[in-house]
Amino acid sequence: MKSINYKYTIITSILIAFLFSFNGFSQEDELTASDYKMRFSFKTVKQHDNTRLLEVSFIGQNKKDRKDKIPVFDAVIKFYNNEVLLGEAITSDEGTAQLIVSASQNYITDEDGYINLLAKFEGSDGLDEEEEEIQVKDLFLELNLEEIDSVKTVLVKAFTIDSLGVETPLEEADLIISVGGMISKMKLEEGTIEDGEFEFKFPTDIPGDVNGDIIVYSIISDNDDFGNVIQQKNVNWGTFKNDIVKDENKLWSEAAPIWMYIVLTILLVGVWANYLYTAINLFKIKKEGKEIELKPEQ
Amino acid sequence: MNLENRKRELAKEFSPLLEKTTKTSKIWMGFLILVILVGVYAFFVQLFKGHIVTGMRDNVVWGIYIINFIFFVCLSYSGAFISGILHFFKTPWKNSVSRIVEIITVLSLIIGPIFILLCIGRLDRLHYLFIYPRIQSPITWDIIAIMTDLIGCFIYLYLTFIPDFAILRDNSEEAPKWRQKVYKFLAIGYRDIPTQREKLHKITRTMSVMVIALAIVAYSVLAWIFSLTLQPGWNSSIFAPYFIIAGLYSGIAVIIIAMYLIRKYYHLDHYIRKVHFIGAGVILLVVSLLFGYFTFSEYFSRWFSHKTHDTNLLNTLFTRYFWMFIFANYFGVLVPIVILFFKKLRTIKSITFAAIVAIVGLWFNRYLIVVPTLETPYLPIQDTREEFVHYTATWIEWALSFAGVAAFILFFILIMKLVPIIPMSGIIDNEREQKKNKKSFKKIVTE
């Protein structure tokens, strides 16, 4: 484990050195950047608040050993909409750079309504320039959680808005309905939006959190036209039951097993009753002594 | 002879022991006070600087304090046990040793728990033990057991003192006034009339049974503090009886040493005779055989089962603690057995020597139960600094340990200044009994 960390540190240091140094170097017995193939992947997610997440994953993969992957960190990634710079971000220790573009951003679109997004790494002495371009349409997801005839129903509407502000329902796209879990989202239903609408009967056995609250997600994932679009809403539809029954009267519970109280009480009462009996007798002895002391005087 | 005259005679005989303090005795008491003061200083150093001044660390969280605690508390329980047996079965030679045993019982039960307090890093949170007790915890059982036992032993000791306080009250006209007042208060109007005598005998006898039962319960609870954990070397089903036997072993040995010292320095050869030493020696022999048997069973089963952690522990015992192990479990058992087994070797000095070997051996036995186990934990030690892996007691711990022993001896001497070490009432009871037996014998012969 220690040696792996050591190796990773060396290689990452080399990559960083290539990013910032003007003088590249190599050693025969050490891996260099040229031994790694750069994986530069770019994706966009339209989030529930209509902001757009632009994310780049920048990883070096060993050409010989594919399992050997090294994230490229501290690399500056610039994001463009056509030639307009949307912003820039630096890759993290995991090799990921993220930029959140506000919901009010006016994107430049082509005649078909596609937004052209570009992520670019301008390169360094050691690493070549990398870039990836994606085109997505701006899709709006509307998630409604309603009880229709006492049936908890998830209603999803998907549409695009043209330059004149006219809503056009989405013809067809795959949709996933999920609920938020402790670690990841739990898929409930996979379906298809047709004519911009999707309806789903929400199950009655989802516990939710302690208050019965559930986060419901409607997700369009890796769509050719729209990329990733997520919408979410919080609803109190959970049927949470406190199933964690507290152990009572166990060795590990707050209250001890009943027999312990009984045994301890018997022992203590037995002993202390005896002490009391002794004390009473001592008082009697004292009383008798006093009577004897008084007699000669009388 | 008239009973009152006999009482006066006995009070006169023992009064020099109570009232006069020789120069040697004063120097000795001064030395003991000095040792205690050094201990008090060490205590304050520990209090202000924390446990860092001791050898106790994250792994070895218990050191010689807990060993002293077990040692003294076991001594007390064994004292209570022996005293209860002596009283309940009306052992013929009980009179010479009963008071020694009773004083040992109470004093060690006062001093022992002080050592457990020294183990607590945050003494300011001590009251939490009483505010938030957890009935499932052996520590809570031990606190309850010790407190109940302490009160029981105090009552029992007091009951056995009452007749002597009464004799001293009635026959200490020349004693200082404060002493007369103390005797009067403590004698609670006891006049040795048949009804009072009967009541006192009855409750003393009941209490003697009670202290035997309490000693067994408290002994077992003390052993369970260790054996109910899963630690190698502690998790043993025979630990409770093993502790009882070990406690008796140390108790009898301390009684023999106390008898020897009191006999020598207070010139009580007439009361503490060779027959008492031989009697105690034979009991020590029986208990040492039992103790040896338990020790062998304990280590043999660990060695034979060959569980990884037990093997590690045994390796530690036979490498780092080799000589201590040999002394504690071979010499500490075999030397007393050899000395006490042969009649010819049973002299007062040799019996006392056997008792000293037993005591030292037993203290090391306790050390080997506590420290090596903590030095071989289940989880590997992360920090390999020497002081984290191995335990060595610091001067603070030694100073407080010796202060405990000094306090024990000092209080013993002070109690001997309050009441005679040989119960006068016991002597009178014996004489009364003999007279009664003579009368009934005479009656049988004449009829």
* Chain A interface, best mutation among B210, B221, B229, by max A CB count within 10 A: B210
Q: Please indicate if any CB of chain A lies within 8 Å of the CB of B1.
A: no
Higher pLDDT, A28 or B104: B104
Using the beta-carbon criterion (under 8 Å), do B207 and A278 form an inter-chain contact? yes
Nearest Cβ partner for A271 among B148, B162, B196: B148
In a domain, A271, yes or no: no
In a domain, A261, yes or no: no
For the segment B400-425, the average pLDDT, to the nearest whole number, is 89
Q: Which of A137, A157, A183 is the last residue of a domain?
A: A137
Q: Please indicate if any CB of chain A lies within 8 Å of the CB of B286.
A: no
* Distance separating alpha carbons of residues B94 and B92, to the nearest angstrom: 6
Confidence (pLDDT) at B417: 85
In a domain, A90, yes or no: yes
Confidence (pLDDT) at B400: 95
Percentage of chain A beyond pLDDT 70 is 88
Nearest Cβ partner for A289 among B134, B191, B202: B191
Using the beta-carbon criterion (under 8 Å), do A281 and B148 form an inter-chain contact? no
What is this model's ipTM? 0.84
Query: Residue type for A20, please?
Result: F
Q: Please indicate if any CB of chain A lies within 8 Å of the CB of B155.
A: yes
Residues A148 and A108 in one domain: no
Residue A2 confidence class, pLDDT cut points 50, 70, 90:
very low
Per CB-CB distance under 8 Å, the chain A contacts of B134 are: 256
pTM for this prediction: 0.67
Structural domain for A28, as ranges = 2-137
Give chain A as a DSSP string: -HHHHHHHHHHHHHHHHHHH-SS----TTS--GGGEEEEEEEEEEE-TTS-EEEEEEEEEEESS-TT-EEE--S-EEEEEETTEEEEEEE--TTSEEEEEE-TT----B-TTSEEEEEEEE---SSS--EEEEEEEE-EEEEEEEEEETTEEEEEEEEEEE-TT--EEE--EEEEEEEEE-SSSEEEEEEEEEETTEEEEEPPS----STT--EEEEEEEEEETTTEEEEEEEEE---------PPP-SSTTSSSPPHHHHHHHHHHHHHHHHHHHHHHHHHHHHHHHHHHHHHHHH-
Residues A162 and A225 in one domain: yes
Using the beta-carbon criterion (under 8 Å), do B188 and A285 form an inter-chain contact? yes
* Distance separating alpha carbons of residues B349 and B260, to the nearest angstrom: 8
Q: Please indicate if any CB of chain B lies within 8 Å of the CB of A85.
A: no
Bridge partners of residue A194, in order along the sequence: A172, A197
Residue B242 confidence class, pLDDT cut points 50, 70, 90:
very high
Beta strands, E only, B70-164: none
Task: State the total domains in chain A.
Answer: 2
Surface-to-core class of residue A198, CB atoms within 10 Å of its CB (0-12 exposed, 13-18 middle, 19+ buried): buried
Residues A180 and A208 in one domain: yes
Q: Check residue A259 and report its DSSP letter.
A: H
Q: Please indicate if any CB of chain B lies within 8 Å of the CB of A249.
A: no
pLDDT surpassing 70 at residue A27: no
Nearest Cβ partner for B199 among A260, A284, A293: A284
Give the pLDDT confidence of A258-292 residue by residue, as tens digits: 999 999 999 999 999 999 999 999 999 999 888 88
Residues A27 and A86 in one domain: yes
Residues A96 and A149 in one domain: no
Confidence (pLDDT) at A25: 43
Across chain A, mean pLDDT equals: 84
- The Cα of B185 is separated from the nearest Cα of chain A by a number of Å equal to 10
Confidence (pLDDT) at B389: 79
Residues A125 and A60 in one domain: yes
Using the beta-carbon criterion (under 8 Å), do A264 and B144 form an inter-chain contact? yes
CATH number, position A156: 2.60.40.1940
Helix (H, G, I), strand (E, B) or coil at B175: coil
Confidence (pLDDT) at A28: 43
For the segment B328-341, the average pLDDT, to the nearest whole number, is 93
Q: Which of A186-200, B153-167, B264-278 has the lowest mean pLDDT?
A: B264-278
Per CB-CB distance under 8 Å, the chain A contacts of B188 are: 282, 285-286, 289
Q: Which of A235, A250, A270 is the last residue of a domain?
A: A235
* Distance separating alpha carbons of residues A140 and A169, to the nearest angstrom: 9
- The Cα of A264 is separated from the nearest Cα of chain B by a number of Å equal to 9
Residues A79 and A171 in one domain: no
Confidence (pLDDT) at B447: 61
Q: Distances from the Cα of B445 to the Cαs of A256, B267, B409, B431, B442, in angstroms?
A: 66, 40, 51, 21, 5
Q: Distances from the Cα of A8 to the Cαs of A1, A22, A37, A68, B140, in angstroms?
A: 11, 22, 15, 9, 53
Q: What residues have CB less than 8 Å from A68, skipping those under 6 apart?
A: A61, A62
Q: Which of B185-194, B369-378, B430-439 has the lowest mean pLDDT?
A: B430-439
Q: Please indicate if any CB of chain A lies within 8 Å of the CB of B137.
A: no
CB A232 within 8 A of CB A253: no
Surface-to-core class of residue B337, CB atoms within 10 Å of its CB (0-12 exposed, 13-18 middle, 19+ buried): middle
Give the pLDDT confidence of A88-111 residue by residue, as tens digits: 999 998 899 999 999 888 888 888
CB A11 within 8 A of CB A73: no
The residue written with tokens 């503490």 in the block is B272
Q: Distances from the Cα of A63 to the Cαs of A9, A68, A69, A130, in angstroms?
A: 18, 9, 10, 17
Closest to B214 measured CA to CA, from B155, B151, B145: B145
CB B36 within 8 A of CB B406: yes
Per CB-CB distance under 8 Å, the chain B contacts of A257 are: 136
Percentage of chain B beyond pLDDT 90 is 36
Per CB-CB distance under 8 Å, the chain A contacts of B207 are: 274, 278
Residue A20: how many other CB atoms lie within 10 Å: 10
Token couple for B199:
């009541």
Strands A197-201 and A96-101, bridge-based pairing: unpaired
For the segment A184-192, the average pLDDT, to the nearest whole number, is 90
Residues A146 and A129 in one domain: no
Confidence (pLDDT) at B339: 93
In a domain, A208, yes or no: yes
Per CB-CB distance under 8 Å, the chain A contacts of B217 are: 267
Confidence (pLDDT) at A260: 92
Residues A13 and A99 in one domain: yes
CATH number, position A16: 2.60.40
Give the pLDDT confidence of A245-258 residue by residue, as tens digits: 777 888 888 889 99
Confidence (pLDDT) at A1: 43
* Distance separating alpha carbons of residues B380 and B332, to the nearest angstrom: 33
* Distance separating alpha carbons of residues A232 and A218, to the nearest angstrom: 6
- The Cα of A93 is separated from the nearest Cα of chain B by a number of Å equal to 28
Q: Please indicate if any CB of chain B lies within 8 Å of the CB of A259.
A: no
In a domain, A14, yes or no: yes
Residue B348 confidence class, pLDDT cut points 50, 70, 90:
very high
Residues A109 and A204 in one domain: no
pLDDT surpassing 50 at residue B126: yes
In a domain, A256, yes or no: no
Query: Angle at CA B204, nearest 5°, toward A265 and A284?
Result: 90
Nearest Cβ partner for B151 among A275, A282, A289: A275
- The Cα of A278 is separated from the nearest Cα of chain B by a number of Å equal to 6
Using the beta-carbon criterion (under 8 Å), do A268 and B214 form an inter-chain contact? no
Dihedral sign, Cα of residue B16, residue B19, residue B25, residue B26: negative
Give B240-253 as a DSSP string: HHHHHHHHHHHHHH
Q: What residues have CB less than 8 Å from B161, skipping those under 6 apart?
A: B186, B419
Using the beta-carbon criterion (under 8 Å), do A288 and B193 form an inter-chain contact? yes
> HSE of A48 in the Cβ direction (CA atoms, 13 Å)?
12
Token couple for B447:
């009829």
Q: Which of A93, A111, A137 is the last residue of a domain?
A: A137
Per CB-CB distance under 8 Å, the chain B contacts of A287 are: 189
Closest residue of chain B to A277, computed from CA coordinates: B203
Token couple for B88:
């309940």
Cite the DSSP H helix spans in chain A.
2-20, 258-297
Closest to B266 measured CA to CA, from B11, B94, B22: B22
Residues A13 and A117 in one domain: yes
pLDDT surpassing 80 at residue B175: no
CB B63 within 8 A of CB B71: no
CB B112 within 8 A of CB B75: yes
Residues A51 and A105 in one domain: yes
Domain residues of chain B, as ranges?
1-218+395-418, 231-377
Using the beta-carbon criterion (under 8 Å), do B189 and A278 form an inter-chain contact? no
pLDDT surpassing 70 at residue B199: yes
pLDDT surpassing 80 at residue B332: yes
